[in-house]
Amino acid sequence: MRLAVLLSGRGSNFAAIHQAIVERKLDAEIIRVISNRPDAIGLARARRLGLSAHLVDHRAFPTREAHEEEVLRIIAQSEPDFICLAGYMRLLSPAFIAAYPHRIINIHPSLLPAFPGVDAQAQAVAYGVRISGCTVHFVDENVDGGPIIVQRAVEVRDNDSADSLAARILEHEHIAYVDALIKLATRSWRVAGRRVMFE
């Protein structure tokens, strides 16, 4: 399974995927890492690991489309099976998404459809839910809205802040992302409406 990873920051989910590959839990190869930010820790980490790491700084392009075209060009060269968004803080255009139907995967730090968008952990704390978690899903044209591959539940504690909840959810994100990729790699699956069906 050939994976392209898009990230903008810390890159801990990317690191978890890479680690699972190193440990041979996941039979895959990360063939490209692309960051839109020069200061992304994930980009530095990818370089250190000797992966094919690319900076495509969105500020260097005149338009959103031009930036995306360059990202798509680098991805297309590598013929990935899946494009993994791992803290990639740019919205993808409908054209980008249509180019890779059910092949772009994202992780979101809530149990979707609850709390889509930014600051999902803070939204969960503010709302007062007792259980939150994370969701690995295919990307479609709706923000955080595509078919769900894997979810993990995380308890919200009385004394949780957005940060403490985020830290606990993050540990589950790393497991969930790897789980989702293992399932996609090892089982036959299809998408029926909103549902991802594994045989």
Q: Please give the positions annotated as active site.
A: 108
> The tokens of 131 are what?
């259980």
> The tokens of 174 are what?
């790393």
What DSSP character marks residue 157? Answer: P
Of 151, 89, 107, the C-alpha closest to 13 is: 107
Cα 77 to the center of its chain, rounded Å:
20
The answer to whether residue 9 forms part of the interface with ligand GRF (CB under 6 A) is: yes
- Which residue's CB is nearer to ligand GRF, number 75 or number 135? 135
Shortest distance (Å) from residue 108 CB to ligand GRF: 5
- Which residue's CB is nearer to ligand GRF, number 69 or number 129? 129
Identified binder of ligand GRF from the candidate list 3, 5, 6, 11, rule CB under 6 A = 11
The answer to whether residue 116 forms part of the interface with ligand GRF (CB under 6 A) is: no
Total number of residues that touch ligand GRF (CB under 6 A): 14
- Which residue's CB is nearer to ligand GRF, number 70 or number 171? 171
Q: Which residues of 125-136 are buried (b: 16+ CB within 10 A; e: fewer)?
A: beeebeebbbbb
The answer to whether residue 80 forms part of the interface with ligand GRF (CB under 6 A) is: no
Cα 115 to the center of its chain, rounded Å:
16
The answer to whether residue 132 forms part of the interface with ligand GRF (CB under 6 A) is: no
For residues 195, 196, 197 and 199, what is the CA-based torsion angle, rounded to 10 degrees?
180
Shortest distance (Å) from residue 190 CB to ligand GRF: 25
- Which residue's CB is nearer to ligand GRF, number 87 or number 146? 87
